[in-house]
């Protein structure tokens, strides 16, 4: 009897052991757009670009999420019309109300940099994405919020 119990416990132990013990599970925290809505932008003239550019100042709450693995929901906004099919945007608001089309602030959009390819979605399709959040204050040609290594949740 003990022999069978021992074999059962041994088989349970090996079935629960990860294939690669050096791999660590990646944990993602769910955030909302309210966690990112405090953004101050100071505009300055840049002679190299010949235009006014914004320099963001992020809130302490937003800074706490910088570099963290997050899950966020939003509306898919296709931007392939601008000629770059690698650019994707997630918006806190539907297309008719988003930053690009209405008076919403730039804190309501996030640049998506996919881990691989994300299936093409319809405008305003509500999606949940996961990835690593980065706050961009250095590159004025990209959005301030970026989800890197993003994938569908």
Residue 54 has, within 13 A of its CA and on its CB side, a CA count of 14
pLDDT tens digits, one per residue of 106-130: 888 999 988 777 777 787 889 999 9
What six digits make up the tokens of 58?
């992020």
Q: Supply the CATH number for residue 84's domain.
A: 2.40.50
The answer to whether residue 138 sits within a structural domain is: yes
Q: How far is CA 7 from CA 3, 15, 19, 28, in A?
A: 6, 12, 20, 36
The answer to whether residue 8 sits within a structural domain is: no
Identify the domain containing residue 104 by its residue range.
27-152
- The pTM (predicted TM-score) of the whole model is 0.76
Measure the CA–CA gap between 29 and 93, rounded to whole angstroms: 21
Q: Are 113 and 145 in contact (CB under 8 A)?
A: no
pLDDT tens digits, one per residue of 51-92: 999 999 999 999 999 999 999 999 988 776 554 555 688 999
Q: Number of structural domains, the chain?
A: 1
The answer to whether residue 105 sits within a structural domain is: yes
The answer to whether residue 60 sits within a structural domain is: yes
């Amino acid at each position: 009897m003990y022999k069978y119990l021992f074999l059962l416990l041994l088989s349970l132990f090996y079935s629960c052991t990860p294939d690669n013990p050096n791999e660590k599970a990646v944990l993602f925290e769910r955030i909302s757009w309210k966690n990112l809505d405090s953004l101050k932008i100071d505009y300055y003239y840049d002679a190299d670009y010949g235009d006014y550019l914004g320099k963001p100042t992020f809130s302490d709450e937003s800074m706490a999420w910088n570099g963290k693995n997050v899950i966020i929901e939003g509306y898919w906004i296709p931007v392939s019309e601008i000629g770059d099919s690698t650019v994707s945007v997630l918006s806190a608001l539907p297309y008719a109300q988003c930053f690009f089309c209405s008076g919403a602030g730039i804190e309501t959009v996030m640049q998506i940099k996919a881990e691989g390819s994300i299936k093409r979605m319809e405008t305003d399709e509500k999606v949940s994405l996961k990835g690593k959040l980065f706050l961009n204050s250095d590159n004025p040609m990209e959005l301030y919020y970026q989800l890197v290594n993003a994938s569908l949740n």
